[in-house]
Chain A
Amino acid sequence: MKYADEKPDKLALVDDKNNITYGQLFKRATELSKKYTTKNKGYVVKAERNIETIIDFYAILLSGNYYVPVDPQIPREKLDYITETIKTNNYENTLYIMFTSGSTGLPKGVVKSHENYLAFVHNFIKTFNLTSDEIIANQTPFNFDASAKDILVSLALCATLVIVPKMLFMFPNKLIGFLNEHKVSAICWVPSALIIIVKLKTLETIKPQFIKKIFFVGEVFPIKYLNLLIAELPNVDFINLYGLTEIAGVCLYYKIPKNKILKEDTALPMGLPLLNNKVYLDENGEVCVESEQVALGYTNNHEKNKEVFVNGMLKTGDFARIDDNNNFIFVTRKDFQIKHMGYRLELQEIETFANAIEYVDACACLYDKANEKIVLFLVLSKSRDDPKKEIILDLRKKLPAYMIPNVIEILDTMPQNANGKIDRNNLQRRINKNGKDN
C-alpha cells in the first residue's frame, strides 16, 4: 500500500466508533503482522464489521498469509470444519478463502488469488471512473463475498471506507442521515437494504446529498421498487452488478439509462461484460466466464472443481439469454439455490438440518418468492408443546440467522407424488395461495 507513504493523513476507515488514516492503518497492520510468523497459511477471522477486522485482514496479508472471514456467531462444528479444510489448500498466492453454503450441509471454500483481485479492481475502477475521492459505505457483512469489493476497491483507490452499523438498516431515516454525515459518494448494497428505504418512504423526508453512484448486487432488484428509488434520486447513477463467489468481484454490469422508465413485468438485465472479461453462453445457455478474475477453485471439493472450473473457464450455473443490445438477461438458476436477503443459500441445507432434529418426521423447505420468505413444512414424529419455537431454536444452533425459516407450517402428513416423493409442486401451490390471501 504505497498510499501510507504518499497520503498518510488520508482517512482510510470509519466505523460507528472510530476512524483511522492510511498512515495509522499501515502502522497498526505492520505491528499486528508480527503475530503471524508462518507463510502461505490461512487464518480464520471472526469478521465483526468494524475497523479492527480490516486491520487484521491487512496484517495477515502483510505477513505473507491469507485470511478466511467467517460469521462471528459461527457454530462450533462449522468453524472446526473450516479450520480443518483450509489446511488442505494447495493454491499459491491465495488472498482469501470465502466459504459458501453447500448442498451437503458442508460449506465450500472458494479460493481467490491476489491476481484475481488486482484484475478485478483495475477493471472495475476503469469502467466506473472511480477515484481516491470516493467515500464508500459498506453494508454487506465481511463473511460475505460482496464485502470484498467494498474493502479492496476502497483500499486500492486510497479512498475512504465507511462501515455502516447494522442497526441503521432497520431505520432508514437514520441511515440516510449517517450517509450524509460521512459524505458517502458510492454504495454497493444488496437490493433488500435499498428496498426498505423505498418501502418506508424515507426519501420523501430526507435524501442522500452526496451519493453519485448506487451499485446493487446479490439478488434481483424488483423493478417496481427500483423505479420508485430512481424517481426520488434522478441524478444518481444506478448500476446492477452480476457476480458470484467463484469470481473476484463482478463480471457483468448494467447501467440503467437515464430517463428510462423500466417496465415492471421485465427482469432487470444482468448487462454487459466488465472490461477484460469474456462472458458468453454455452450451447445450453449457461453463462460462462473467462478472465483473470475467475477464482482458483474450491479447497475441498474436487468433484465440484471439475464441474465448475473447466480449464480456467467458470461455469456459473446461471442460465441467460442475450437481448438485441447485447445485454445478458437472466433466465434461471441451475440448481436448488435461492437468493434470500441478498444471500445465496441452498434450501436443501436447511432441510438437511431440520431432518436431523429428533422429533421431525419429514420436512420440505421451499421459498415464497413473492413475500421473500423461507417456508419450512414439517411433519412431527411426536407432539411437542411449542414445536415452532423449538424448531427455530434447534436450527439456530446449526444455521446462520439468514437461513432460519421465516414461516413454519406443521402438517399432519407430507403430500406425496406418484413416485412417493414429497410433492413440492403441491406445497409450492399452497405457498402461492396463502401469499395471495394476504
Chain B
Amino acid sequence: MEKIIKILKELHPEIDFNKEEHLIDHAKLDSLDIVTLVGELSDEFDIEIPQSELVPENFNSAKALLAMVERLGG
C-alpha cells in the first residue's frame, strides 16, 4: 500500500490518498494521470495491466488500485 500511496503522491501531493475514495468519480485524476499510473504500477510491481482492468472502479482509491495490483500478481 505504501508504494502505491507514494506513486500517487508524486502525481498529486495535495490529495490525501489514504482517505480519498472517489478519485475518478470526483475527477481528481485526469487521463494523463491514468497513463502515468498504469506505467508506474506496471514497472513497480512487474505486472501487465490488461484493457479489461482499465475501468473506473479500479482507479477510485489507493485501496482499489492495491486490490487490482494483487489480483494481477503484483
Interface residues of chain A, those whose CB is within 8 Å of chain B, are: 166-167, 169-174, 192-193, 196, 199-202, 204-206, 341, 372, 386, 388-389, 392-393, 401, 408
Q: Which residues of A contact B30 (CB under 8 A)?
A: 170, 401
Beta-carbon contact of B55 and A171 below 8 Å: yes
B13 on interface, CB distance cutoff 8 Å: yes
CB neighbours of A201 from chain B (8 A): 51
Closest B residue, CB atoms, query A390 = B14
| Among B13, B27, B34, contact of A171 (Cβ-Cβ < 8 Å) | B34
A200 lies within 8 A of B32 (CB): no
Q: Quick one: given A389-B13, A389-B14, A393-B14, are A166 and B27 in contact (CB under 8 Å)?
A: yes
Scan residues 1-26 of chain B and give those whose CB is less than 8 A from a CB of chain A: 13-14, 24
Q: How far is the CA of A199 from the CA of B40 in the complex (A)?
A: 13
Chain A CB within 8 A of B54 CB: yes
Q: How far apart are B45's CB and chain A's nearest CB, in angstroms? A: 17
A sample of 19 more A-B contacts (CB under 8 A), given A171-B56, A205-B51, A341-B32, is A167-B27, A169-B31, A170-B29, A170-B30, A170-B56, A171-B34, A174-B55, A193-B31, A196-B31, A200-B34, A200-B35, A200-B51, A200-B54, A201-B51, A386-B13, A388-B14, A392-B13, A393-B14, A408-B13
Q: Would you call A170 and B24 a contact (CB within 8 A)? A: yes
| Interface status of B72 (Cβ within 8 A of chain A) | no
The interface residues of chain A lying within 8 Å CB-to-CB of B35 are 196, 199-200
How many residues belonging to B are interface residues under a CB distance threshold of 8 Å?
A: 18
Contacts of A386 in B (CB 8 A): 13
Distance of A201 Cα from B38 Cα, bound (Å): 11
A166 / chain B contacts, CB cutoff of 8 Å: 27
- Give B42 Cβ to nearest chain A Cβ, in Å: 11
Are B14 and A170 in contact, CB atoms less than 8 angstroms apart? no
B residues 47-73 with Cβ under 8 Å of A?
51-52, 54-56, 59
Q: Are B14 and A167 in contact (CB under 8 A)?
A: no
Q: Bound state CA distance, A167 and B56, in angstroms?
A: 8
Chain B: which residue is nearest A396 at the CB level? B14
CA distance A372 to B33 in the complex (A): 12
Distance in Å: Cβ of A180 to nearest Cβ of chain B: 14
Q: Are A372 and B54 neighbours in the complex by a CB distance under 8 Å?
A: no
